[in-house]
Chains A and B, each alone.
Chain A
Amino acid sequence: MKAKSWRIADPAGGLIVLFTLLLWSCGGKPAGDKTVSLTLGAYTVPKEAYEREIIPAFKTYWQEKTGETVTFNESYTASGAQSRAIASGFDADIAALSLEQDVQRLVEVGLVTHDWRATQFSGMVTRSIVVMAYREGNPKRITGWEDLTRPDVNVIYPSPKTSGGAMWVVNAIYGAALKHSEILWGEPDPNFAYRRLREIQSRVQVMDKSGRASVTTFENGIGDVLLTYENEVLLRKSQGKAMPFLVPDATILIENPIAVVDKNVEKHGNRAVAEAFVAFVKTASAQRAFAQYGFRPVDPDIAEEFLAKFPVPKHLFTIQDLGGWPQVHQQLYAQTGIWMQIVNELAHQ
């Protein structure tokens, strides 16, 4: 029984098998006539929207328009990780990320060479806002930002240290506080904002590493209030896991960029398709599709259509209102930044 199986008298055969396997592993490129391939490197949040609506719609569109079949390679990872992956060689033709600085990184390494901000809608494809979700029946009677400073309220949101998108949340807290102080005393008061931020941060039980993760944590029963993006809450609702939420009167406008990665499309020779796709996602039908999935359209006309679904907060502000990303970064998230200091202080208590 035993010995025979080992007498493979021809070791060369074994080597041949090995090499064949290695070659197989390299994965052949589909040699198609009239097929073009497009690689999308996106962040996790819009996956359903792209996968189920946008991409199939684009495929049909392109097929009809040029007769070419487009095959998509899609990758959805956290925005920062995806940006770094593309920067270190992941050859995405299109980068659809959560923060403009994640796209800016690609400009810095020379992968994106055109002025992407000059494209339609300033290079953005979707919008959202920071909202507050709470428990069924609102037992803690959450009505606005001030309630989050109450000692009996536990707050959940993702950590800006690990999730770039989480910075939106803290920006919202800070900006809303500035707005409130402006309303109350005529001028935005940074001290007030600092105190508000500190108080809310001290109510934070858990800071997860991503927006999704904090939603999961909240759903698992932790915390009284979840600060997250509106599209997340709406996505959960569409999946049958609705949670009550409110749109604060003062909150920040989140905008997500999309850009063609020049170096890669030159390498692949599919610039036409790539640029068409970027244009496509900004068309009315695509914007409507995004709206279905809980994303606020960048197209103002379509935004009008969905006003009921997406009410505009009274005191909506943008990152520009806060001074732009570099300043916000310096002010809040640098080592000497306000938020960082608060977190360190609270940790040492």
Chain B
Amino acid sequence: MSIVINNLRKQFGHALVVNNVSLEIQEGELFVLLGASGSGKSTILRIIAGLLEPDSGSVTINGVDMTHVDARKRNVGMVFQNYSLFGHLTVFENVEFGLQVRKLPKAQRRNRSKELLEAVGLTGLGHRYPAQLSGGQQQRVAVARALAYNPRVLLMDEPFGALDVKIRGTLRQNLQEIQRRLNVTTILVTHDQEEAFELADRIGVIERGQLIEIGPPDVLYHHPKTEIVATFIGGGNILVGREEEGRIRLGKVFLPMPDQAPLHAQGSPVRVLFRPETVVLSREAFSNASGIYPLGQGRVLKRIFNGPVQRLVLEMEELAGVRPLKPVPRYGQPRTRIEVVETTTGLHHGARFDETLWVGVRDYHILEPSGIKFLVYTGSPERNPAAQELALHLGQLTRGAVTLFSVVSNDMEMSEVQAEMERIQNVWQERIPLLTTEVVKGERHEQVYLKTQSGIYDILVADPKFTGQHEMKPALQNLLEETLLPVLTVSQSQKGILHILICTAAGEPGKSDVQVGGRLAMRAHAKATVFSVLTSPDDQVETRRVEQHLEQARQSLTGLGIACDTRLGLGEPMAEIFNQAAKPAYDLVVLGAPLPQAPQRIHWPDVAQRITRELNKPVLLVPMMTT
């Protein structure tokens, strides 16, 4: 085992950049850390190199604990993103630098550097200066330089990023050859998924500082576990169907549940992934013997010709009970769309625009089940069981995950709260399989914030008193801004929700309030009412806009399978919203909370406060961001 990373953690100020990452890399392996910008992958690399010390965790190279060892003693080779060649030294001198430091005699150094330059294909350029080389040549010098002193490990930080697409291919091949020949353990960091696929023996997908999945490229491609990995790598279609008697119901059809698929509760949603190239289109219906799983019929909406292949977007017929996850449905889009890639062996064999065809899949993959993930803050001194109870009920109802999170200030409290947590766990574990509890010591707001960053939560549930004794507004506002999580404030306990009121305004940025509210309603099998306020009924343009907005919302929600209607209020928004919320039919109110930079039509903290205090109804505040 060449490199072992254990529970690596690194925090910069408020941001948890590396969050509990553990990896084992084999000797001679070419391991790729794949992630978007800012995912923390470069930081991990720097920690392995020794340029950064982790807050906790360890790095072991070839059995030796290197966590606190200075970079210079680790004997690793590194290729930086911009190569970082020494401008005042020739190519030879650059490559020989590591050897010079190791006090190798001149003649030997020169021989070695000549060898390496030949290996990377730069023979004869030894006496040039970096400024006289092209980007691709510079990169190769950087590689030669890193390998010169036979390091145990080669680290590469987006080494192909700055190069032309044309050279990248050649250089990748070159690198792979060298790596295989030298058998040097290599960690390459990149955001380019194509690159990862081409070069890696194994890929580790990093998102927001966490290692989501590891595996060889083909496994990750064909059998990803999470939605994130599935959508990161390659195009894909993800449709959500429902478990029924051991099979998957997807609209009118049934798909068999594969043996190795993750366990799904009865009747729970099932996420089905199938790649565009596994979709089969035909002008005739599929026979049972064809081995193809039919989905139904679809109409070609878009066609992009790419030479040997063409990409198509099809709009499927009505797939009842099916929710498309990917491609992400557009706001107001009524039907499922899927992406298809097919070869164009002779134009008349490929599909044409607006054609209606039979659609089937050759192969598909089931992702792990997901539900709404609730993060519940139950802390002293405002330990109010209302929030906790509602969250637990919702968790059970939506078959989601609930994390009970408590912050204490001293050890005595700690043991008290831990005991309580255990009790709750025992009671609820059966009903909520994905229930976890955690107690930490520290400052309330900070700890809650950190917790929201450390996982992928959908809703934060809190007692309104958490947000400040009397000052609900600023604390809540900060919380929303910082965590960008919808916050559910609960003052009185409830056993569930039957009818949700979604207050939305036309013209506000984003549609998250409808989407989040809708998701909750759907999962809780609740009804929804979309409510909007018209301030100037005489204004024709405004009226049309608001009505259109409501109609779109209704369509989206109906598409999710929710019984939905709309209401229009006339007059002053805050009063109207309050009045509507006061109606006994509603169990939960959803409000959009635009971030300060966006235009604000109502002063939502005030409304939220009133509803929670006076009406004792839970309020879900959704941060509105333009996506």
A2 / chain B contacts, CB cutoff of 8 Å = 88
Of all chain A residues, which has the CB nearest B89?
A3
Q: Render A1-15 as a binary contact track against B, CB cut-off 8 A, 1 for contact.
A: 011001000000000
CA A3 – CA B100 in complex, angstroms? 14
Q: Does B587 contact A (CB under 8 A)?
A: no
Q: Does B342 contact A (CB under 8 A)?
A: no
Interface size class of B (residues with CB under 8 A): under 10
* Minimum C-beta distance from B160 to chain A (A): 29
* Minimum C-beta distance from B88 to chain A (A): 6
CA A36 – CA B89 in complex, angstroms? 59
Chain A: interface residue total (CB-CB under 8 A): 3
B residues 86-126 with Cβ under 8 Å of A?
88-90, 93
* Minimum C-beta distance from B270 to chain A (A): 65
Report the number of A-B residue pairs with Cβ-Cβ less than 8 Å. 6
CA A2 – CA B89 in complex, angstroms? 9
* Minimum C-beta distance from B378 to chain A (A): 62
Of all chain B residues, which has the CB nearest A6?
B88
Interface residues of A: mostly helix, strand, loop or mixed? helix
* Minimum C-beta distance from B95 to chain A (A): 14
B90 / chain A contacts, CB cutoff of 8 Å = 3
Q: Render B68-89 as a binary contact track against A, CB cut-off 8 A, 1 for contact.
A: 0000000000000000000011
* Minimum C-beta distance from A129 to chain B (A): 72
* Minimum C-beta distance from B109 to chain A (A): 14
Of all chain A residues, which has the CB nearest B86?
A3
A residues 6-61 with Cβ under 8 Å of B?
6
* Minimum C-beta distance from B89 to chain A (A): 6
* Minimum C-beta distance from A22 to chain B (A): 31
CA A69 – CA B117 in complex, angstroms? 74
CA A206 – CA B88 in complex, angstroms? 60
* Minimum C-beta distance from A7 to chain B (A): 10
B88 / chain A contacts, CB cutoff of 8 Å = 2-3, 6
* Minimum C-beta distance from A1 to chain B (A): 11
* Minimum C-beta distance from A11 to chain B (A): 16
A6 / chain B contacts, CB cutoff of 8 Å = 88
* Minimum C-beta distance from B8 to chain A (A): 37
B89 / chain A contacts, CB cutoff of 8 Å = 3
Of all chain B residues, which has the CB nearest A2?
B88
CA A146 – CA B53 in complex, angstroms? 90
Of all chain A residues, which has the CB nearest B90?
A3
CA A6 – CA B89 in complex, angstroms? 11
* Minimum C-beta distance from A189 to chain B (A): 85
CA A2 – CA B93 in complex, angstroms? 12
A3 / chain B contacts, CB cutoff of 8 Å = 88-90, 93
CA A3 – CA B129 in complex, angstroms? 11
CA A57 – CA B93 in complex, angstroms? 69
CA A44 – CA B66 in complex, angstroms? 73
A residues 296-345 with Cβ under 8 Å of B?
none
* Minimum C-beta distance from B573 to chain A (A): 71
* Minimum C-beta distance from B102 to chain A (A): 15
B residues 415-444 with Cβ under 8 Å of A?
none
- Subset of 6 A-B contacts with CB under 8 Å: A2-B88, A3-B88, A3-B89, A3-B90, A3-B93, A6-B88
Nearest first, the 6 closest Cβ-Cβ pairs linking A and B are A3-B88, A3-B89, A2-B88, A3-B93, A3-B90, A6-B88
Chain A residues within 8 Å of B, Cβ to Cβ = 2-3, 6
